Amino acid sequence: MLYYSPFDIYYVALVIPAVLFAMICQWRVSATFKKYAKVRTRRGITGEQAAKKVCSYGEARDTRVKSIQGHLTDHFNPKTNEIGLSESVYNDPSVAAVGVAAHEAGHASQYAQGYSPMRLRHIMLPVTNVASMLAIPLVILGFSMEVFMLVNIGIWFFAGAFLLQVITLPVEFNASRRALSVLESGNMLDEEELRGARKVLTAAAMTYVAAMAVSLAQLLRFLLIARGRRR
Protein backbone atom coordinates (compact mmCIF):
# COMPACT_ATOMS: atom_id res chain seq x y z
CA MET A 1 0.00 0.00 0.00
CA LEU A 2 1.23 3.50 -0.79
CA TYR A 3 1.79 5.69 2.23
CA TYR A 4 0.90 9.36 2.30
CA SER A 5 2.73 11.41 4.91
CA PRO A 6 1.55 14.93 5.82
CA PHE A 7 5.17 15.83 6.67
CA ASP A 8 7.24 14.54 3.75
CA ILE A 9 10.37 16.23 2.41
CA TYR A 10 8.34 18.26 -0.11
CA TYR A 11 6.16 19.59 2.69
CA VAL A 12 9.23 20.77 4.58
CA ALA A 13 10.96 22.19 1.50
CA LEU A 14 7.95 23.78 -0.22
CA VAL A 15 4.90 24.20 1.97
CA ILE A 16 6.43 25.28 5.27
CA PRO A 17 8.37 28.24 3.76
CA ALA A 18 5.22 29.36 1.94
CA VAL A 19 3.16 29.11 5.14
CA LEU A 20 5.77 31.15 7.03
CA PHE A 21 5.64 33.77 4.28
CA ALA A 22 1.83 33.86 4.60
CA MET A 23 2.09 34.31 8.37
CA ILE A 24 4.49 37.22 7.91
CA CYS A 25 2.13 38.85 5.39
CA GLN A 26 -0.81 38.40 7.74
CA TRP A 27 1.13 39.97 10.59
CA ARG A 28 2.16 42.85 8.36
CA VAL A 29 -1.38 43.67 7.23
CA SER A 30 -2.57 43.62 10.82
CA ALA A 31 0.30 45.84 11.99
CA THR A 32 -0.08 48.26 9.08
CA PHE A 33 -3.83 48.59 9.58
CA LYS A 34 -3.35 49.14 13.31
CA LYS A 35 -0.76 51.86 12.63
CA TYR A 36 -2.86 53.85 10.17
CA ALA A 37 -6.08 53.28 12.11
CA LYS A 38 -4.58 55.78 14.57
CA VAL A 39 -4.06 58.40 11.83
CA ARG A 40 -7.19 60.53 11.42
CA THR A 41 -7.87 62.00 7.99
CA ARG A 42 -7.58 65.79 8.01
CA ARG A 43 -10.92 66.15 6.20
CA GLY A 44 -12.67 63.75 8.57
CA ILE A 45 -13.72 61.38 5.77
CA THR A 46 -15.13 58.10 7.15
CA GLY A 47 -15.01 54.66 5.60
CA GLU A 48 -18.68 54.87 4.64
CA GLN A 49 -18.22 58.23 2.92
CA ALA A 50 -15.13 57.05 1.05
CA ALA A 51 -16.90 53.91 -0.19
CA LYS A 52 -19.89 55.90 -1.47
CA LYS A 53 -17.60 58.39 -3.19
CA VAL A 54 -15.63 55.68 -4.99
CA CYS A 55 -18.90 53.97 -5.99
CA SER A 56 -20.16 57.24 -7.40
CA TYR A 57 -17.01 57.74 -9.46
CA GLY A 58 -17.03 54.11 -10.59
CA GLU A 59 -20.58 53.91 -11.97
CA ALA A 60 -21.75 51.87 -8.97
CA ARG A 61 -24.14 54.42 -7.42
CA ASP A 62 -26.78 51.74 -6.74
CA THR A 63 -24.42 49.80 -4.49
CA ARG A 64 -25.54 49.76 -0.86
CA VAL A 65 -22.94 50.41 1.86
CA LYS A 66 -23.76 48.88 5.24
CA SER A 67 -22.10 48.22 8.59
CA ILE A 68 -21.33 44.62 9.60
CA GLN A 69 -19.88 42.97 12.67
CA GLY A 70 -16.28 41.83 13.03
CA HIS A 71 -12.81 43.18 12.46
CA LEU A 72 -11.46 43.42 8.89
CA THR A 73 -14.46 41.45 7.63
CA ASP A 74 -15.01 44.06 4.91
CA HIS A 75 -16.20 42.73 1.56
CA PHE A 76 -18.25 43.37 -1.56
CA ASN A 77 -21.07 40.97 -2.37
CA PRO A 78 -21.90 41.04 -6.10
CA LYS A 79 -25.02 38.92 -5.57
CA THR A 80 -26.68 41.58 -3.43
CA ASN A 81 -24.64 44.52 -4.77
CA GLU A 82 -23.72 45.44 -1.20
CA ILE A 83 -20.50 46.57 0.46
CA GLY A 84 -20.15 45.36 4.03
CA LEU A 85 -17.81 47.47 6.15
CA SER A 86 -16.70 46.23 9.56
CA GLU A 87 -17.28 48.25 12.70
CA SER A 88 -13.64 49.38 12.70
CA VAL A 89 -14.05 50.85 9.21
CA TYR A 90 -17.64 52.06 8.65
CA ASN A 91 -17.75 55.17 10.87
CA ASP A 92 -14.01 55.56 11.38
CA PRO A 93 -12.31 58.65 9.86
CA SER A 94 -8.86 57.05 9.80
CA VAL A 95 -6.52 56.58 6.85
CA ALA A 96 -6.71 52.80 7.27
CA ALA A 97 -10.52 52.76 7.30
CA VAL A 98 -10.77 55.00 4.24
CA GLY A 99 -8.28 52.84 2.32
CA VAL A 100 -10.06 49.58 3.09
CA ALA A 101 -13.52 50.99 2.37
CA ALA A 102 -12.39 52.52 -0.91
CA HIS A 103 -10.86 49.19 -1.93
CA GLU A 104 -14.17 47.38 -1.44
CA ALA A 105 -15.89 50.10 -3.43
CA GLY A 106 -13.29 49.46 -6.11
CA HIS A 107 -14.71 45.94 -6.37
CA ALA A 108 -18.21 47.37 -6.73
CA SER A 109 -16.90 49.57 -9.53
CA GLN A 110 -15.35 46.54 -11.23
CA TYR A 111 -18.64 44.68 -11.12
CA ALA A 112 -20.66 47.66 -12.35
CA GLN A 113 -18.31 48.17 -15.29
CA GLY A 114 -18.11 44.48 -16.18
CA TYR A 115 -14.42 44.05 -15.36
CA SER A 116 -13.64 40.65 -16.96
CA PRO A 117 -11.43 39.07 -14.25
CA MET A 118 -14.01 40.03 -11.63
CA ARG A 119 -16.82 38.41 -13.61
CA LEU A 120 -14.73 35.29 -14.26
CA ARG A 121 -13.84 34.98 -10.59
CA HIS A 122 -17.51 35.29 -9.61
CA ILE A 123 -18.46 32.51 -12.06
CA MET A 124 -15.66 30.18 -10.95
CA LEU A 125 -16.02 30.69 -7.19
CA PRO A 126 -18.84 28.19 -6.39
CA VAL A 127 -17.21 25.37 -8.39
CA THR A 128 -13.69 25.95 -7.12
CA ASN A 129 -14.91 26.16 -3.51
CA VAL A 130 -16.26 22.61 -3.81
CA ALA A 131 -13.16 21.46 -5.70
CA SER A 132 -10.81 22.83 -3.05
CA MET A 133 -12.68 20.97 -0.29
CA LEU A 134 -12.50 17.66 -2.18
CA ALA A 135 -8.96 17.96 -3.55
CA ILE A 136 -6.84 16.89 -0.57
CA PRO A 137 -9.19 14.07 0.59
CA LEU A 138 -9.16 12.66 -2.96
CA VAL A 139 -5.35 12.80 -3.15
CA ILE A 140 -4.96 11.07 0.22
CA LEU A 141 -7.61 8.46 -0.59
CA GLY A 142 -6.01 7.84 -3.98
CA PHE A 143 -2.59 7.21 -2.47
CA SER A 144 -4.03 5.01 0.29
CA MET A 145 -5.98 2.85 -2.16
CA GLU A 146 -3.30 2.97 -4.88
CA VAL A 147 -5.84 4.45 -7.29
CA PHE A 148 -3.97 7.07 -9.27
CA MET A 149 -7.14 8.20 -11.04
CA LEU A 150 -8.35 9.61 -7.70
CA VAL A 151 -4.96 11.23 -7.17
CA ASN A 152 -5.14 12.85 -10.59
CA ILE A 153 -8.68 14.11 -10.03
CA GLY A 154 -7.63 15.56 -6.68
CA ILE A 155 -4.66 17.31 -8.26
CA TRP A 156 -6.84 18.73 -11.04
CA PHE A 157 -9.33 19.99 -8.45
CA PHE A 158 -6.51 21.61 -6.52
CA ALA A 159 -5.16 23.15 -9.74
CA GLY A 160 -8.60 24.66 -10.35
CA ALA A 161 -8.60 26.24 -6.91
CA PHE A 162 -5.10 27.58 -7.55
CA LEU A 163 -6.25 29.08 -10.85
CA LEU A 164 -8.96 30.99 -8.98
CA GLN A 165 -6.29 32.51 -6.75
CA VAL A 166 -4.26 33.51 -9.80
CA ILE A 167 -7.33 35.28 -11.23
CA THR A 168 -7.99 36.92 -7.85
CA LEU A 169 -4.65 38.77 -7.87
CA PRO A 170 -5.40 41.20 -10.73
CA VAL A 171 -8.88 41.71 -9.28
CA GLU A 172 -7.44 42.80 -5.94
CA PHE A 173 -4.67 44.99 -7.36
CA ASN A 174 -7.06 46.64 -9.81
CA ALA A 175 -9.56 47.41 -7.03
CA SER A 176 -6.80 49.11 -5.05
CA ARG A 177 -5.71 51.15 -8.07
CA ARG A 178 -9.29 52.30 -8.63
CA ALA A 179 -9.64 53.19 -4.96
CA LEU A 180 -6.40 55.18 -4.73
CA SER A 181 -7.15 56.99 -7.98
CA VAL A 182 -10.50 58.27 -6.69
CA LEU A 183 -9.09 59.11 -3.25
CA GLU A 184 -6.50 61.26 -4.98
CA SER A 185 -8.59 62.84 -7.73
CA GLY A 186 -11.49 63.43 -5.36
CA ASN A 187 -9.20 65.23 -2.90
CA MET A 188 -10.35 62.99 -0.05
CA LEU A 189 -6.81 62.34 1.16
CA ASP A 190 -3.75 64.52 0.99
CA GLU A 191 -0.41 63.23 -0.29
CA GLU A 192 0.82 61.92 3.05
CA GLU A 193 -2.48 60.22 3.86
CA LEU A 194 -2.55 58.71 0.39
CA ARG A 195 0.83 57.09 1.02
CA GLY A 196 -0.55 55.58 4.21
CA ALA A 197 -3.63 54.21 2.44
CA ARG A 198 -1.41 52.74 -0.26
CA LYS A 199 0.69 50.96 2.39
CA VAL A 200 -2.44 49.48 3.96
CA LEU A 201 -3.74 48.21 0.62
CA THR A 202 -0.35 46.89 -0.48
CA ALA A 203 -0.01 44.93 2.76
CA ALA A 204 -3.52 43.52 2.25
CA ALA A 205 -2.73 42.57 -1.35
CA MET A 206 0.34 40.65 -0.24
CA THR A 207 -1.86 38.27 1.75
CA TYR A 208 -3.39 37.17 -1.57
CA VAL A 209 0.09 36.70 -3.03
CA ALA A 210 1.00 34.61 0.02
CA ALA A 211 -2.16 32.49 -0.27
CA MET A 212 -1.32 31.81 -3.90
CA ALA A 213 2.23 30.85 -2.91
CA VAL A 214 0.92 28.35 -0.35
CA SER A 215 -1.40 26.80 -2.92
CA LEU A 216 1.34 26.61 -5.53
CA ALA A 217 3.69 24.95 -3.05
CA GLN A 218 1.03 22.39 -2.15
CA LEU A 219 0.22 21.74 -5.81
CA LEU A 220 3.89 21.18 -6.67
CA ARG A 221 4.19 18.90 -3.67
CA PHE A 222 1.30 16.72 -4.84
CA LEU A 223 2.71 16.55 -8.36
CA LEU A 224 6.16 15.56 -7.13
CA ILE A 225 4.77 12.91 -4.75
CA ALA A 226 2.58 11.47 -7.52
CA ARG A 227 5.49 11.33 -9.93
CA GLY A 228 7.64 9.57 -7.36
CA ARG A 229 4.94 7.00 -6.53
CA ARG A 230 4.52 6.06 -10.19
CA ARG A 231 8.18 5.16 -10.61
Q: What is the residue-level pLDDT of the chain in tens, covering all 231 positions?
A: 444 555 578 888 999 999 999 999 999 999 999 999 999 999 999 999 999 999 999 999 999 999 999 988 999 999 999 999 998 899 999 999 999 999 999 999 999 999 999 999 989 999 999 999 999 899 989 888 888 899 999 999 999 999 999 999 999 999 999 999 999 999 999 999 999 999 999 999 999 999 999 999 999 999 998 887 665
Q: Model's pTM, two decimal places?
A: 0.89
What does residue 93 show for φ and ψ, rounded to 5 degrees? -90, 35
- For the chain, the structural domain boundaries read 9-230
| Helix H or strand E encompassing 64 | strand 64-68
d(CA 97, CA 70): 14
Residues with a catalytic annotation lie at 104
The CA distance from 185 to 188, in Å, is 8
Cα–Cα dist 178/76, whole Å: 14
